[in-house]
Amino acid sequence: KYKARLTIMSRNNIWAHLAIALVLVLVAAFAGQIGRWRRNWTPVKQSSSSPETSRDSDESEESSSDDRRDDHKAEVLVRFRAGVTQDAIEKIAQRLNDEIEDRIEAIDGLDVIEDENGKDAESVVAQYRALPEVDYAEANSEIKLDHDDSGRKHVHADDELFFRQWGLFNSGQNGGRAGADISAMRAWAVTTGSDKTVVAVLDSGVDYTHPDLANNIWTRPPIIKAYQDDDLTSDGPIDDVHGFNLVEDNGDPMDDNGHGTHCAGIIGAEGGNGLGVAGVNWNVKIMPLKFMDENGSGTTKDAIEAINYVIDRKRAGVNVRIISASWGSTIKSRALEDVIRKAGEEGILFVAAAGNASSDNDRAPHYPASYDLGNVISVAAVNRNDQLASFSNYGAKSVQVAAPGEEILSTWLEHDFRELKGTSMATPFVSGVAALILSQNPNLPVSDLRAKLLNSVDPIPSLKGKVSSGGRINAAKAVGAD
């Protein structure tokens, strides 16, 4: 019938419809242009906002996040006491009409339980905590990235980008203080890193095709079997060529947010190639672990699974000695603490962002940076004048060191480069210096690696009483150049 009506339309009607269509096209095009103008003139957020408060202030984002959570069943992390068999655990879940979604291999007795009764996470946690067989139970809570979107700048690759990297070499450019940097150039006279050192970046993934990163991306050696987790990857081994994607449970850790790519570039953008920026390491291998989605949100469970992956690869023979974690939450997870402790037992240093709430972590902890573990380093941010950044968390006891974290230029999506600020940016500076140390001494125990980093800082007056070392990281001292 519709085709018949078209065939009997008069010529006048045809011209009328064509005119209407033309108007609609012009309106759509104009609306698109307005959209582009609006995107180019987005108001800048307050720099003191933490990721949590920034999210809370945006009602549309928060409501959509709530809607997404409502579509999912409650998940809890339950660690059963020693001696409780898997058969007994399955019977408990069956009795409560719940499903065991996964087991965390690195931690004995740790299971991911999915509620099948329509209860909220708090009720499910209380239910399991009441059982004598349970050591602890907690919600699979949300985790956020530790960076601030305000102050982003777009920089074209044909600029002299290295001399915008004040964190590596501060000559006093753009109002900075000469020498307020990590002394990278003096460190590079001793070592520019090693492709035998692997740094795991737990984040939103990494653009492993970026020209300034591609040569420094970890590739699974053929002698090491593809990753297999019978619960997580029930269809068989994951072809983890460059890392792992916990968001989609596959072997493609491509970044769709940008944050992880930025952090990776700070650690290991290829140096001396005449392109873009230089990382703290010119030579290193970045292992991308994607557990954050395109909105910069992840879960405790996926963070644990990502760390479990690193431990598995380390046990398989990969020389992965550092985890760089530029994210956090005010919620303490014993399960996350357990798996980070396990990583330490495997000789893996865990470098974590102190947070961006301008608060004292001694009083209001920020996790995982606030875990009191021998393999954890908590990192605050300083600006180009060696002042504690206005947004940065601190803690005389719970935060160990500071690193550059304002106006930090690094790699970005679509083979681009951008400036960001946050303790997220400070963290990979410390991870990068740790990798430089390991390039000299690959078998250095994690306790000695941590001590070497903290004992080689530059004392900074503004950091006295703010971080336990009282200083900002110094790469040259760390590798013995000074």
Which CATH architecture describes the domain 144-478?
3-Layer(aba) Sandwich (3.40)
In the chain, CATH 3.40.50.200 covers 144-478
Query: Residue 420 and residue 108: Cα distance in Å, rounded?
Result: 39
Structure tokens at 472: 């900002």
What is the DSSP code (8-state) at residue 456? T
Identity of the residue numbered 285: K
Q: Where are the beta strands (DSSP E) in 243-348?
A: 244-245, 283-290, 297-299, 320-325, 327-328
Burial class of residue 144 in the structure, from the number of CB atoms within 10 Å of its CB (0-12 exposed, 13-18 middle, 19+ buried): buried
Mean pLDDT value of segment 186-198: 96
Q: Write down the pLDDT at residue 225.
A: 86
Query: Residue 170 and residue 178: Cα distance in Å, rounded?
Result: 5
Neighbour order of strands in the sheet with 327-328: 297-299, 142-145, 327-328
- Torsion, Cα 428 430 431 436, to 10 degrees, reads 130
Mean pLDDT value of segment 112-116: 92
Q: Of 4-18, 30-44, 135-149, where does the model show the most confidence?
A: 135-149
Query: Residue 375 and residue 45: Cα distance in Å, rounded?
Result: 34
Mean pLDDT value of segment 290-308: 96
Alpha carbon 335 to its chain centroid, in Å, reads 18
Nearest alpha-carbon partner for 367 in 322, 289, 293, 300: 300
**Whether pLDDT at 158 is above 90:** no
Q: In terms of pLDDT, which residue wins out, 147 or 174?
A: 174
Which residue's entry shows tokens 């996790």? 367
| DSSP secondary structure letters along 309-323 | HHHHHHHTT--EEEE
Nearest alpha-carbon partner for 146 in 466, 391, 387, 431: 391
**What mean pLDDT is reported for the chain?**
85
Residue 94: its H or E element: helix 86-95
Cβ count within 10 A of residue 172: 13
**Whether pLDDT at 57 is above 80:** no
Which residue's entry shows tokens 């059982």? 131
What is the DSSP code (8-state) at residue 148? E
Structure tokens at 442: 């690959």
**Whether pLDDT at 64 is above 90:** no
What does the longest C-alpha to C-alpha distance in the chain come to?
88
Mean pLDDT value of segment 290-302: 96
How confident is the model over 317-371, as pLDDT tens digits? 999 999 999 999 999 999 999 999 999 999 999 999 999 999 999 999 999 999 9
Which residue's entry shows tokens 């994690």? 446
Structure tokens at 419: 């400036």
pLDDT class for 149, splitting at 50, 70, 90? low
Q: Write down the pLDDT at residue 482.
A: 76
**Whether pLDDT at 293 is above 50:** yes
Query: Residue 352 and residue 349: Cα distance in Å, rounded?
Result: 10
Based on its alpha-carbon atoms, the radius of gyration of the chain, rounded to whole angstroms, reads 25
**Whether pLDDT at 56 is above 60:** no
Structure tokens at 396: 């005389």
pLDDT class for 219, splitting at 50, 70, 90? very high
Q: Write down the pLDDT at residue 132.
A: 96
Q: Angle 423-440/259-268 helices, nearest 10 degrees?
A: 40
Q: In terms of pLDDT, which residue wins out, 137 or 34?
A: 137
Mean pLDDT value of segment 180-192: 96
Q: Domain 51-140 - what CATH class?
A: alpha beta
Structure tokens at 117: 């009764």
**Whether pLDDT at 240 is above 80:** yes
Do the Cβ atoms of 186 and 476 come closer than 8 Å? yes
Active site residues: 203, 259, 424
Neighbour order of strands in the sheet with 110-115: 98-103, 110-115, 75-80, 134-139
Q: Write down the pLDDT at residue 237.
A: 60
Q: Write down the pLDDT at residue 436.
A: 99
Do the Cβ atoms of 420 and 148 come closer than 8 Å? yes
How confident is the model over 228-238, as pLDDT tens digits? 765 444 444 67
Mean pLDDT value of segment 373-390: 99
Query: Residue 342 and residue 304: Cα distance in Å, rounded?
Result: 11
Query: Residue 381 and residue 369: Cα distance in Å, rounded?
Result: 13
Q: Write down the pLDDT at residue 313.
A: 95
**Whether pLDDT at 37 is above 80:** no
Nearest alpha-carbon partner for 440 in 479, 387, 385: 479
Q: Write down the pLDDT at residue 78.
A: 97
Nearest alpha-carbon partner for 292 in 98, 142, 460: 142
Nearest alpha-carbon partner for 283 in 398, 432, 147, 442: 432
How confident is the model over 242-292, as pLDDT tens digits? 999 999 999 999 999 999 999 999 999 999 888 899 999 999 999 999 999
pTM (2 decimals)? 0.81
**Whether pLDDT at 444 is above 60:** yes
Give 339's contacts (C-beta < 8 A, 6+ positions apart): 104, 106, 107, 304, 307, 308, 311
Would you report the helix, strand and coil content of the chain in percent, each value rounded to 5? 35, 25, 45
In the chain, CATH 3.30.70.80 covers 51-140
Q: Write down the pLDDT at residue 252.
A: 96
Percent of the chain clearing pLDDT 90 (strictly above): 73
Nearest alpha-carbon partner for 177 in 393, 434, 433, 458: 458
